[in-house]
Structure 1
Amino acid sequence: MANTSKPVFAPVILAGGSGTRFWPRSRRARAKQVLALEGTRTMIQDTLDRLRLVAEPSATWVITNGWLREVIVEQLPEVTGEHVVSEPCARNTAPACALAAFLLERTAPETVLGVFPSDHVVANPKRFAEVLAKGIEIAAAGENIVVLGVPPTRPETGYGYIEQGALYERVEQTKGFAPISVHRVRRFREKPDLTTAERFLAAGNFVWNGGIFLWSAKTLCAAIREYTPEMAEPLEKIAAAYGTPEFEKIFAAEYPKCENISVDYAVLERRSARGEQKANIFCLPADFGWNDLGSWASLYEHRAEREGDNVIDGGTTGVFAIQATGNYVYAPGKTVALLGVDDLVVVETDDALLITTLGRSQDVSKLVRAIHEGGREDLI
């Protein structure tokens, strides 16, 4: 008799980044994911809220760092405290994803893990849940890997791309949503130059890699053992120590031995080299109003109702604008006057003031690096 039981699903929220492109609001101890950049809920709270549609908060894991663990535990009281794991050092997404898989493999290897960045925006949570439910089903049906691809709207050079291959399945929906088209993945592409991005857009079968992945714990563990065996050994030791008095000591000693590498490079690209039919990597459409809010410019674009609007944020008490368009301003408690300026980013906090342009907002992280090199750790 076929097994028709519902797959066990455990979301894994990656929340270890420092959000340097949102400086000066984002700092080590209050990074982007724990800020309310849209509405009153923080970004990580919004992430958990939409995941409630497919999983209980108590089943959720959060991989973060020592700077943020306390505030995340406060903001997500429904997540089991033992499931909020602080990395002793930053090691990119492959060790973070694999850590959760190795922890769960010992007791529940069939569990489907969903990897979700903590700082994305989703406009249509119900569609998100519909797509995710189908992805969980596919991930549970063997050694399959599922990725969510964002339909591109422009020739973007800041994202990696997924090249879709043959149509695997087309799922009709009954709740008013569009069908879900499941494609095999042909290969993954790195961030392209503009000419290549334009070619991808014109081809029609390329989508943005939004960093959302689904796989069973045993599937990811097997892939780590196959492709990065040197990472598997310390993770095995960490998982064996979980729940014991020695865990923190072993975690601190073994985790730094993991390679600093993204899961895209460590697993996905290497698995895709098997070929479209043998890799068993499937792409589902992330057609639910996705935005990664990666910079002040992307926040401006998300918030502006019309091109050229000035976006005034964060309790700024008033604004006077003359011949000024396309500016983003965050200055709580202040009246701001804009005269003859366009496309600026102005962000004020108690101890810092950022003035840049929308076009250079991706480079704010370079500014943070310079502040660090200048010895001003109090500003980081």
Structure 2
Amino acid sequence: MKKSKANFYPVILAGGRGTRFWPLSRKRMAKQLLPLNSDKSMIQETVERLSALAEKKNFWVVTNDDLLVPIAKQLRALPIKQLIAEPVGRNTAPAIGLAAFILERLDPSAVLGLFPSDHVTSKPEAFKKDIAKAVQIAAAGENIVVLGIKPTRPETGYGYIEVGEQYERGVMRVRRFTEKPNAEKAAEFVESGHYFWNSGVFVWGAKTLANALREHLRETAPFLEKIAASYGTKEFAKTFAKLYPKCENISVDYAVLEPRSAKGEKSSNIFCIPADWGWNDLGSWAALFEHRAAEQQLSEHENVLTSKGAFTHDAGGNFVHSPRKFIAVVGVKDLVVVETDDALLITTRQKSQDVGKVVKFLDEKKLKNLV
């Protein structure tokens, strides 16, 4: 593979509300701003592990108006002009697409990476190595690189990547993407050994992505180009507010990756690097329980507790967060209990994916102080 010089720009998507982490995650202090994995917030950890690969001046963050100020306070080292607040949410394709169109104009050699702001990894050196490899592949042509995670269970909440022949050592060609299969299909995928979870981490040249959007999102791409053309001028905020809501609400997976992979394995120019970073997207309280239990070398039958002190008896598999109180857990199993100053969540680990429904209810009832 021909090596090409490229400037790498991490683009961190940080506009989500993290509703499944209610009541800790709120509209103005969402999941990515919380210290769920360490004493640093999720987005601070994301920037930290990428700092070995890119200068701070190359970082971009796409978020929303509610989170712009708190993110700016947490990421003081990043250029404030590169923290962009969407006027409305339009999913990942317009968000990363806008960054691509801006960077295409600012730096023709730009290679950008899409990184969710709320994932964790326990093997930073492996992460660094894989992203560096992805940047190299993306810079060598009109290539798209996705980082895949070896599945450990038939998970129905993730997208899957089917891989084909080896492109080079440690890199596979992508055959197709499948979004969130049913349980039967997910079990087939895991059994086959040819599928990886879609980590949501992608690397590509800014021009490559911009051209892909011009091809596959023909109505949205012109709006993004006009917004990008106004970046750095007095008209940017006005143009952004006027045109961005007209963009299609669609993920980059559906907009670009699935149509590209449908061209056939050898002509799609999509590649997968199987990653082993100790990755977790921490998508629910149950996922956080599993992550912390693994870190503390606990079994799923033990308790994960955050408190000033605790007593347990005949209790197991519980996640309890009440950091300012002594807690007693007696005779219950597999519960999730999370306390804040103004709310209390009680559910089971099995049903923790449904916590977002609480936020939907609160929105409908206009209980703004609780969201």
**TM-score range, shorter-chain basis?**
over 0.9
* Equivalent residue, structure 2, for 1:43: 42
Report the secondary structure of 1:291's partner residue. coil
Separation (CA, whole Å) in 1 of partners of 2:324 and 2:142:
54
Mapping of 1:202-281 within 5 angstroms?
Answer: 202-281=191-270
Q: Which amino acid aligns with 2:227?
A: I
* Equivalent residue, structure 1, for 2:22: 23
- Is the Cα–Cα contact under 8 Å of residues 3 and 136 in structure 2 kept in the other structure? no
1:3 Cα shift? 8.2
1:109 Cα shift? 2.4
1:246 Cα shift? 1.1
Separation (CA, whole Å) in 2 of partners of 1:159 and 1:210:
8
| Residue 146 (structure 2) pairs with residue 157 (structure 1) | no
* Equivalent residue, structure 1, for 2:352: 361
Task: State the number of aligned residues.
Answer: 367
* Equivalent residue, structure 2, for 1:73: 72
**1:201-253 deviations in Å (ceiling 9; x for gaps):** 11001000010001101000000000011111111110111111111011000
* Equivalent residue, structure 1, for 2:332: 341
1:137–1:323 distance in 2 versus 1, CA, 3 Å:
same
* Equivalent residue, structure 1, for 2:9: 10
Separation (CA, whole Å) in 1 of partners of 2:4 and 2:178:
36
* Equivalent residue, structure 2, for 1:177: none
Report the secondary structure of 1:290's partner residue. coil
Separation (CA, whole Å) in 1 of partners of 2:280 and 2:329:
28
1:349 Cα shift? 0.5
Q: Which amino acid aligns with 2:89?
A: A
Q: 2:300 aligns with which of 293, 299, 307?
A: 307
Stretch deviating more after TM superposition (142-151 or 190-199): 190-199
1:338 Cα shift? 1.2
**1:69-121 deviations in Å (ceiling 9; x for gaps):** 11111111111101100000000000001010011111212200000000000
Q: 2:364 aligns with which of 353, 373, 379?
A: 373
Separation (CA, whole Å) in 2 of partners of 1:326 and 1:233:
51
Report the secondary structure of 1:211's partner residue. strand
Stretch deviating more after TM superposition (351-360 or 330-339): 330-339
Q: Which amino acid aligns with 1:284?
A: I
Report the secondary structure of 1:282's partner residue. strand
Unmatched segments (≥5 aa) in structure 2: none
* Equivalent residue, structure 1, for 2:84: 85
**1:166-194 deviations in Å (ceiling 9; x for gaps):** 11101xxxxxxxxxx10000000111111
Q: Which amino acid aligns with 2:5?
A: K
Q: TM-score, normalised by structure 1?
A: 0.95
1:285 Cα shift? 1.3
Separation (CA, whole Å) in 1 of partners of 2:56 and 2:285:
30
Separation (CA, whole Å) in 2 of partners of 1:333 and 1:82:
38
Separation (CA, whole Å) in 2 of partners of 1:286 and 1:22:
26
Q: 2:277 aligns with which of 288, 293, 298?
A: 288
Q: What percent identity do the matched residue pairs reach? A: 58
CA root-mean-square deviation: 1.1
Q: 2:322 aligns with which of 331, 338, 341?
A: 331
Q: 2:179 aligns with which of 169, 190, 205?
A: 190
1:5 Cα shift? 5.5
Q: Which amino acid aligns with 2:304?
A: V
1:333 Cα shift? 1.1
* Equivalent residue, structure 1, for 2:93: 94
* Equivalent residue, structure 2, for 1:317: 308
Separation (CA, whole Å) in 1 of partners of 2:158 and 2:83:
28
Separation (CA, whole Å) in 2 of partners of 1:370 and 1:4:
53
Unmatched segments (≥5 aa) in structure 1: 171-180
Separation (CA, whole Å) in 2 of partners of 1:4 and 1:20:
42
Q: Which amino acid aligns with 1:73?
A: A
Mapping of 1:123-134 within 5 angstroms?
Answer: 123-134=122-133
Separation (CA, whole Å) in 2 of partners of 1:5 and 1:150:
27
Separation (CA, whole Å) in 1 of partners of 2:47 and 2:187:
35
Report the secondary structure of 2:84's partner residue. strand
Separation (CA, whole Å) in 2 of partners of 1:58 and 1:106:
16
1:254–1:285 distance in 2 versus 1, CA, 3 Å:
same
1:360–1:3 distance in 2 versus 1, CA, 3 Å:
closer
Separation (CA, whole Å) in 2 of partners of 1:91 and 1:286:
28
- Is the Cα–Cα contact under 8 Å of residues 5 and 139 in structure 2 kept in the other structure? no
Q: TM-score, normalised by structure 2?
A: 0.97
Separation (CA, whole Å) in 2 of partners of 1:244 and 1:8:
24
1:6 Cα shift? 3.1
